[in-house]
């Protein structure tokens, strides 16, 4: 969900207004995805690299995260979403971690769209974490297979993504789901995240549906 700060600058607003608008837009998209027959939605909320930003911006982002979690808790009973979180959650304040745990536990049995929020997440961190778990738990006399490795990643219970959409015009993965995205279709759009709406999402899905996915085969 890239481009919040650039959207704010383009609209002569302080950067935090871009982040605020971006958070509002996330719920607008979430509220519409059930009509699009999507089963899974994973969003990159806060990366391991985002800690490099100014203390002032990080402070605002943490405040916004807390508000977003409060908003999410209020909406839990309005839908059947299963909401899960991936990433290193240890650096967050206790009140944030408590809310994350409450949301996870409360929605765990839900059968609707699975929404994954990546918080303090990095694809390399995910891979290294998986390797460390393997070193502790895996039978070292056996060769590890791809499926075995996936079982140690943060998205072990989810299928690999079909489609990645990145807003904001940048054409790179930026350390997102590096293991998971091996055969994912990629779409990069120039619109900033606060301007990304349901129609744009529908257009991306229509683009995806026209693609022929060969997975290395000839057909």
Helices and strands per DSSP (H, E), number in the chain:
7, 5
pLDDT above 70 for 137: yes
Residue in the block written with tokens 């990546």: 118
Q: Are 123 and 177 in contact (CB under 8 A)?
A: yes
Q: Would you call 50 a catalytic residue per the annotation?
A: yes
Residue 217 covered by a domain: no
pLDDT in tens, 146-158: 989 999 999 999 9
pLDDT per residue over 41-97, tens digit each? 999 999 999 999 989 889 999 999 999 999 999 988 888 999 999 999 999 999 999
Per annotation, catalytic residue among 4, 11, 25, 50: 50
8 and 14 Cβ atoms separated by less than 8 Å:
yes
pLDDT tops 80 at residue 218: no
pLDDT at 123 > cutoff 80: yes
The H or E element that residue 44 is part of is: strand 40-47
The answer to whether position 44 is within a domain reads yes
For residues 32 and 183, the model is more confident at 183
Place of tokens 């765990």: 108
Domain contains 214: no
Calpha distance 120→18 (Å, rounded):
20
Pick the catalytic residue: 2, 126, 180, 195? 2
Domain count within the chain = 1
- Work out the number of other CB atoms within 10 angstroms of the CB of residue 189: 20
What per-residue confidence (pLDDT) applies to 58?
A: 92
Instruction: For residues 88 and 97, give the distance between their C-alpha atoms in angstroms, rounded to a whole number.
Output: 11
Which of 138 and 45 is assigned the larger pLDDT?
45
> What is the sign, positive or negative, of the torsion defined by CA atoms of 213, 214, 218, 219?
negative
> Does residue 216 fall inside a structural domain?
no
For residues 54 and 144, give the distance between their C-alpha atoms in angstroms, rounded to a whole number: 41
Tell me if 72 sits within 8 A of 117, measured CB to CB.
no
- CATH classification of the domain holding 109: 3.40.1180.10
pLDDT at 219: 59
What pLDDT is stored for residue 118 in this prediction? 97
- pLDDT value of residue 214: 81
User: So what's the pLDDT on residue 124?
Assistant: 97
pLDDT, one tens digit per residue, over 4-44 is 999 999 999 999 999 999 999 998 998 888 788 899 999 99
pTM value?
0.93
Q: Is residue 215 part of a domain?
A: no
Residue 138 pLDDT exceeds 90: no
Question: What confidence score (pLDDT) does residue 216 get?
Answer: 75
Q: For residue 102, what are the contacts with CB-CB under 8 A and spacing of at least 6?
A: 73
Give the 3-state secondary structure of 102-152: HHHHHHCCCCCCEEEEEEEECHHHHHHHHHHHHHHHCCCCCCCCHHHHHCC
Give the pair of three-digit tokens for residue 171: 């054409």
Residue 13 belongs to domain spanning: 4-208
pLDDT of residue 174: 96
Residue 125 has pLDDT above 70, yes or no: yes
Question: Is 94 within the bounds of a domain?
Answer: yes
Q: Which residue has the higher pLDDT, 56 or 215?
A: 56
- Residue-averaged pLDDT of the chain: 93
In-domain check, residue 174:
yes
195 is catalytic: no
């Amino acid at each position: 969900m890239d481009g919040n700060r650039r959207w704010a600058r383009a609209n002569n607003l302080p950067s935090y207004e871009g982040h605020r608008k971006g958070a509002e837009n996330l719920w607008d998209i979430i509220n519409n995805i059930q009509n699009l027959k999507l089963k899974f939605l994973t969003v990159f909320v806060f990366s391991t690299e985002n800690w490099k930003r100014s203390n002032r911006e990080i402070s605002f982002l943490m405040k916004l995260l807390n508000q977003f979690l409060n908003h999410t808790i209020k909406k839990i009973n309005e839908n059947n979403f299963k909401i899960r979180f991936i990433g290193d959650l240890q650096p967050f304040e206790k009140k944030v971690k408590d809310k994350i745990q409450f949301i996870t536990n409360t929605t765990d049995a839900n059968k609707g769209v699975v929404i994954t929020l990546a918080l303090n997440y990095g694809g390399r961190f995910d891979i290294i974490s998986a390797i460390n778990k393997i070193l502790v738990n895996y039978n070292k006399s056996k060769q590890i297979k791809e499926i075995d490795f996936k079982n140690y990643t943060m998205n072990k219970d989810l299928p690999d993504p079909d489609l990645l959409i990145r807003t904001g015009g940048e054409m790179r993965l930026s350390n997102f789901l590096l293991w998971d995205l091996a055969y994912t279709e990629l779409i990069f759009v120039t619109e900033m995240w606060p301007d990304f709406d349901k129609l744009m999402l529908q257009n991306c899905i229509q683009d995806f549906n026209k693609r022929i996915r060969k997975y290395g085969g000839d057909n």
